[in-house]
Structure 1
């Protein structure tokens, strides 16, 4: 992984030559990894002792709400705890591509500027979310013309070339393809792009080759949401088959991003937390790393639907489940790179509006390190303890 200082070169030129001061009220450069509430060492500072960074998803909106870096409370928390950030939605096709011939970098540029201003590393998410429900409408109905293969290739390569040219000197780790598995077919998902090019593998392969051509030194990642619960065994097998195929075809993918939206949808009487297939998960990680892929935890949070409503008890159980997961993942120390939460504060975490994660009692999901009043929770302590251990 490149040092963040080296990765800063040329970024402002890539964003149209705008300077940091062109953004009203641009902050001074601040150090990462400072003390947090109560004088604790930041999660990033602890993670760096093991040669990795800790970070979180962020957003940008003018209203200054939620995970937006224009929200002063959230931005302050990110500065105090994190050394790396990733855009939640601002780099996805829906945000960047309002039409086939236009790009809108306004929100993503704000996140990139903020990261530079605070000497903070930036991850890329994502060059291609290969699912039709997350394509912009125009892409699902796009007319690929008389030569659909060539037009689909042009469209995809142009997107990757344009985005990487803008942010390539700032970002060292890129989610190239996200969630490409069709669970009904147990195979890579079909989209307008795959139908034009003949099969999904052609799209996936081209995305990685196009990214490598333009990012020769970057870490290229396949990102997906399989996890260690028994219900995910089929998904793990499908992802493993996808990675095996890419390896055989010489696709330049360096790492697997494990989203790690871990789940407590039922209680295991033996542990008092959610069931997890430790042996199966280890086999999966062994197979992935045995092929030479590195690992990242890219989107960590916890679904707490089966836990009781009592906050103290629930937070303790979530912390217990978190510690078990991190202890296992950190056994792969030689293969594990950065660790990112998918939001630091409960109120702005996506699980609050993700229907499958809803609690039957209607209470707020408490799946992040900080509560909705920006107070630390036992989960934060569990992550810190696992990183220290």
Structure 2
């Protein structure tokens, strides 16, 4: 197994200082509640330098919150191609090395996100414009193989679950997205199949996940249908995919005074989708949980109650499936949530879609998550 360099270990040490001043998590913790049912609870986290006001291990308050509540961590951006592969012939693992080192020293498991993001919008520029030569299919497959082999060999057993492919289905049409690699290899299916088969050979110990953001709200029917078609195709072609990662960026987009009633209306269609996935033999993960609160009032009290009610109903459904494993939040504090910049509220009020507020105080959403984890069906362990 390759050795992580000294820079990474030094950076990892930044998070080993005092736990900081974050408010202590109530008891039991989310990770304890999940563990009682055979699951892991965790969060996304980021790289940072000492003292950074960010959702990083180098922020003492945020690091303390991760230690209290989480058993597994996932890099928010630092393992994506844009971060670790600046050129076809060059990798840069410095930041992710530091994150993995800190997680290992502090007793966390690590999920890998992602080995291939099948969406041209998020390709590094060099890959979008790459000249694949006179044998493009072979050249494109070699680039993908090299990427997966290099990453999995570097981290070995330290990463036990990979989002091998991320977001390959166009949500508006249900069709597979086209990319520079799919054009070179004669279609998207050959690219995805090659990614999973390469990952299985390179990391036979790891859970291999297809990850996507199809969701239970209205107007997601094409996306769900496209994901089911993709999963059916994997099974027919014998592609080694273990699990569907359900990102779970759930959202309340229109004004409502009863988030629970909305959830009850959405439940039948969502269960139909999940039942179809499980019937094909796939496991499930919640990989990127948060709540978009655009349709809720600006007042914090009713907004937090609506977020909590909606999330509790959603998690009760997800956790009723014994095939569900990890539950991963996409950040633990509103202070650092991606929702504030990528999904801002139209009234300009800061989004409140995480379990803890700006000052790391637990919110009703945390209580809802704890209740759902505590009352969940026990996990059915993979064979």
Same fold (TM over 0.5): yes
| Alignment CA distance shift 1:255-1:316 (3 Å) | same
Shift of 1:113: 0.3
Closer, same or farther: CA 71–26 of 1 in aligned 2, 3 Å:
closer
RMSD between aligned residues: 2.1
Residue 180 in 1 paired to residue 179 in 2?
no
Alignment of 1:227-242 (within 5 A): 227-242=215-230
Which position in structure 1 is the counterpart of 2:180?
Answer: 192
Query: In the alignment, which residue of structure 1 is the partner of 2:379?
Result: none
Report the Cα offset of residue 358 of structure 1.
Answer: 2.2
Q: Which moved more, 1:293-302 or 1:266-275?
A: 266-275
Deviations, residues 194-227 of structure 1 (Å, cap 9, x unaligned): 0000000000000000000011121000000011
CA contact (8 A) 1:46 1:387 kept: yes
Deviation, 1:361, is: 1.3
CA distance in 2, matches of 1:23, 1:87: 14
Count of residues in correspondence between the two structures: 371
The verdict on how the C-alpha distance between 1:91 and 1:271 changes in structure 2, with shifts beyond 3 A counting, is closer
C-alpha displacement of 1:190: 0.5
Alignment of 1:182-261 (within 5 A): 182-261=170-249
Task: Give, in whole Å, the separation in 2 of the partners of 1:25 and 1:223.
Answer: 31
- The 5-angstrom pairing of residues 1-389 of structure 1 reads 10=1, 13-16=2-5, 20=9, 23-25=12-14, 27=16, 37=24, 39-62=26-49, 64-267=52-255, 271=259, 274=262, 277-332=266-321, 334-354=322-342, 357-389=343-375
Q: Structure 1: which 5+ residue stretches go unaligned?
A: 1-9
Contact 2:8/2:95 (CA < 8 Å) preserved in 1?
no
By how many angstroms is 1:266 displaced?
Answer: 1.4
Partners of 1:345 and 1:21 lie apart in 2 by: 26
Deviation at 1:17, TM superposition (A): 8.1
Partners of 1:74 and 1:302 lie apart in 2 by: 20
Range moving further from structure 2, 56-65 or 207-216: 56-65
* Unaligned residue ranges in structure 2 (runs of 5+): 376-383
Give TM-score scaled by structure 2 length: 0.92
What do residues 295-318 of structure 1 show as CA deviations (whole Å, max 9, x unaligned)? 000000000001001101110111
Structure with the larger RCO, 1 or 2 (CA within 8 Å, 6+ apart) = 2
Q: Is the 8 A contact 1:267 1:274 kept in 2?
A: no
Give distance in 1, aligned partners of 2:295 and 2:314: 18
- Contact 2:170/2:177 (CA < 8 Å) preserved in 1? yes
Q: What TM-score results when the alignment is normalised by the length of structure 1?
A: 0.91
Q: Deviations over 1:127-180 (max 9, x none)?
A: 000101100001000000011011001100000000000112101110000000
SS in 2 for 1:352: helix
Provide the rounded CA distance (Å) in 2 between the counterparts of 1:268 and 1:24: 46
